[in-house]
Structure 1
Amino acid sequence: MPNPTNARTEPVQQRSAERINALLDAAAILLDEVGIDAMTTNDVAKRAQSSVGVIYRYFPNIQSLLRALASRNFDKYRAGLTATLNKRATNALDALNVSIDVYVELSRTEPGFRVVSFGSIIDRRFNVNRKSNNTALAEILTDLLVATYGVPASDSLAFDIEVTVEIADSLLERAFLYDPHGEEPFIERLREFIAQLLEPHTKEAITE
């Protein structure tokens, strides 16, 4: 997985960690208010009641701050996914539907999440040549389906899950583009697509 902080200097004291979280909180709120193109380090510093110098102590530029926010989003998503799976998922399709549910809930409730999500928008804009959080998520979901729900491991499964994550990223981005609650037709069509893509892999598990 990518470095979860992407910070210039690692926070070694509680105060530093609190400052970083305050900066990320401020950036998240501003993303909802003004969007990714209009947000500046000055805006973040002002909203966090801090200074631009403090931002640059931890982040070399606005891109690294946004990537740190995306990584924090990813961590929150993983925590929510783990907690919800234990309560609601009994098979592979349940697990993938839960993965959608957790994403949708964060998009509705977590400031800045529906704008920056796991950072694919940042990677596209700045041509980042590294493993994305989407790829990391696909690997996590593939391992989950194999280890917990008995789906046979294969290159085809890994590829289909990565395709699923990329399509989900696009469809969910569209679902929340104009409606902060999410347009249900896009979300439901995503569920239908995932069921169709997963069916051959789960059939293989039944016949083995």
Structure 2
Amino acid sequence: MKLNTLFVAAVLASTSLSSCVFETAGDNQLKYTHTTLVDGDAYAFFRQVGAIVPFEASYAKHVETVGSAQAKEVAGKVAKVFADILPQMDSLATKFDVDFPILGAQQYTASTEVAANEPPIVDTANADSTTTPVAVAHNAEVYSDEAYLHHIQHQVAVVKEHFRRLSHNTNKELRDFAVAKSESIAELYKATGGKEEHAHH
């Protein structure tokens, strides 16, 4: 009787502990080896698009406050499309064990423009009473509508290309996601001034 009780207790303990071990092993595998359940193209999609989309969404919000009417219109479309894509990418990345959001991905901050509006720094270290101080220019970029429209057109083209590649992926769920979003990405590309190239056979 005691032997049967010990055997049952051992079986129950081993099954309950082994289920924890497998979950922990899976978590550790993702955490330490960054092994994913996607192929190279899909991983590149998550890395590239996952870095571009959050930055451009936050940049678009800034442009909506300082840009011209055309830039505000484009920024509004960018913010809407990218805000729609981001949560879906996050859930797919979680499902397929891809680290997301991308660690180290930049968020847009207006600090470069703030620095450009500050008075120039005066270099007095090498100045004496016979010379006039030299103003040192900032290396910050000042916002311009033309630069933003050119920048966002390029970034949307990169995103569009990654969606095109993902639409041919072997993973059906990722392929369906890319196909479902390809039309909105193509419309966004046209809205930013991009021109569709049609292949001639």
Q: TM-score, normalised by structure 1?
A: 0.29
Greater share of helix: 1
Q: TM-score, normalised by structure 2?
A: 0.30
Max radius of gyration: which structure?
A: 2
